[in-house]
Amino acid sequence: MLSSIITAVGAMAALGIALSIVLGLAAKVFYVYVDPRIEAINDALPGANCGGCGYAGCNDYAEAIINSNVSPNLCVAGGSDVTENVCSIIGVSAELGERKVARIFCQGDNVRAVRNFEYTGAQDCRAAIAATGGDKACSYGCVGLATCVRVCPFDALSMNENGLPVVNEMLCTGCGNCVEVCPRDLPRLIPISQKVANLCSSQDAGKTVKQVCSVGCIACGQCQKNCPESAAYMVGRLAYVDPDKCTGQLVCIEKCPTGSMAVLHPEAQQAEPEAAEAEHAAQ
């Protein structure tokens, strides 16, 4: 009896040793080297997994930087500090592009835009358009059901009291989630330095626009005719502003009869002359 037990224990011990040797050899044969820089980059990234870089998550982006030589400056959520940290990990110099933020290219809220009916269906812009085309008379306008607000991982979007989304530029990272989800392409990423834009997206004729929205672009061309830098231009029935030419003289805003041309950063515009006055006083 005792000899049988000893034999069984010995057999189990021998089997355990054999399996350990096999597992050890397998670990060496099938070992996949993981570059330690991937973990370091992943730790340097913000961990938001917002997809703004074009990858499913921060770890996927970290792997792409090391394994596929993807640019290290694609993390819009982390900004310049993260880019510099990542660049220092892989030993390259940081090339920082201008920060971009989202803007809503529609001002037709529940007060200034005509509504055809009261929508009571699913509270999602895509569902509303698929089911009814939206309740606003303008087929280019914001549906106002906050789909873009809900997909923002940084709480940079909120709905105002009149049913339009508003972007908090201090919190916006330019990840582009709101841009991707909007069925009418109304949130758009623009350079933070852009001073003026036509915040209307309608391609309808001026007469039609007047009937459905009080702040729509009516294609009068006054902005193009009067802009001293030739920054305003028309494409079809809609005015645009070239941010590379615009110096913020605001002539287009003064001439716009409906107010579709708007200052993008009114606080910054106000701060500039105040700062200049303070500097002049100090001199």
Task: Give the SS3 label for residue 2.
Answer: helix
Residue 227: CATH number of its domain: 3.30.70.20
71, with CB counted inside 10 A (0-12, 13-18, 19+), is middle
Residue 79: CATH number of its domain: 1.10.15.40
Mean pLDDT of 173-178: 92
Same domain for 187 and 242, yes or no, is: no
Contacts with 90 (C-beta within 8 Å, 6 or more apart), sequence order: 37, 41, 65, 66, 72
Phi, psi of 196 (to 5 degrees): -135, 150
Same domain for 186 and 198, yes or no, is: no
Domain count, the chain: 3
Return the structure tokens found at 48: 């938001």
Please tell me the predicted confidence (pLDDT) of residue 266: 60
- Give a yes or no: residue 278 inside a domain: no
Same domain for 262 and 220, yes or no, is: yes
CA 67, 68, 73, 78 torsion-angle sign? negative
CA 81, 86, 91, 92 torsion-angle sign? negative
Same domain for 121 and 61, yes or no, is: no
Same domain for 174 and 111, yes or no, is: yes
Please tell me the predicted confidence (pLDDT) of residue 273: 39
Cβ atoms 113, 213 nearer than 8 A:
yes
Domain that holds residue 197: 193-266
Please tell me the predicted confidence (pLDDT) of residue 33: 65
Please tell me the predicted confidence (pLDDT) of residue 70: 87
Please tell me the predicted confidence (pLDDT) of residue 77: 83
Report whether pLDDT(101) > 70: yes
Which pLDDT tens digit goes with each residue over 198-257? 999 999 999 999 999 999 999 999 999 999 999 999 999 999 999 999 999 999 999 999
Best CA proximity match to 43, nearest among 21, 22, 23, 65? 65
Report whether pLDDT(153) > 80: yes
Strands 100-104 and 187-191: antiparallel
Report whether pLDDT(111) > 60: yes
179-182: Cβ within 8 A, 24+ apart: 179/102, 180/151, 181/125, 181/126, 181/147, 181/148, 181/151, 182/125, 182/147, 182/148
Same domain for 210 and 228, yes or no, is: yes
Which pLDDT tens digit goes with each residue over 50-77? 888 888 899 999 999 999 888 888 888 8
Same domain for 145 and 183, yes or no, is: yes
Please tell me the predicted confidence (pLDDT) of residue 227: 96
